[in-house]
A and B are shown apart, each in its own frame.
Chain A
């Protein structure tokens, strides 16, 4: 089975940089994903790391260290619209060698003016 830990809430001011951490325990690791969910909306995919290192997509970056079972999502130049919940997810082993996702409990990011 899988276990993921991420902070329940993070606050920051507009224009700042914020990092949301995720640690995981898995029986087998196949990749770490990040999703964003605005209040009342559906989760949407942000980024994916299968290998160690940093992946950058505009203002958002995601980092993975497989040896430390750790990853983070970095949000730069924060905007009010970045206020949302952020979920990390790992791929667990499903049936017949397939992979299914397991999600963390989510981090609520509150951006203040």
Chain B
């Protein structure tokens, strides 16, 4: 079974709709991240969380919110989706210290019409 899972894997929505992307992990890591990937722009950090009561903004947090419901779950919400939020979204986890290697989920492909 995958260590980091994301649901849904694909989603089509309309402008103005609220949408939630979910991430779960069985790696036991405290740290979780949400990234957005656009062609030619690499991976950009949206939000990150170092434990259940900790939420921090990343490089591109505007238009997004997150919830860390438990150590294993980290959700990303688009309160009112817009077309330029069409992208591939990745959740990732890392352990504390050392290399802090990022372990990525399979991604959610989002299309906002």
| Residues of chain A whose beta carbon lies under 8 Å from any beta carbon of chain B | 8, 31, 33, 35, 41-45, 48, 50, 87, 89, 91, 94-95, 98-106
Q: Does B43 contact A (CB under 8 A)?
A: yes
Closest Cβ neighbor of A43 among chain B residues: B104
B contacts with A: majority SS: loop
In the complex, chain A residues whose CB is within 8 Å of the CB of B33: 100
| Residues of chain B whose beta carbon lies under 8 Å from any beta carbon of chain A | 33, 40-45, 48, 50, 56, 58-59, 90, 99-107
Tally of A-B Cβ pairs under 8 angstroms: 52
Structural contact, B43 and A103, CB atoms closer than 8 A: yes
Structural contact, A104 and B42, CB atoms closer than 8 A: yes
Q: Which of B56, B59, B100 contacts A99 (CB 8 A)?
A: B100
A77 to chain B, nearest CB (A): 25
In the complex, chain B residues whose CB is within 8 Å of the CB of A95: 50, 56
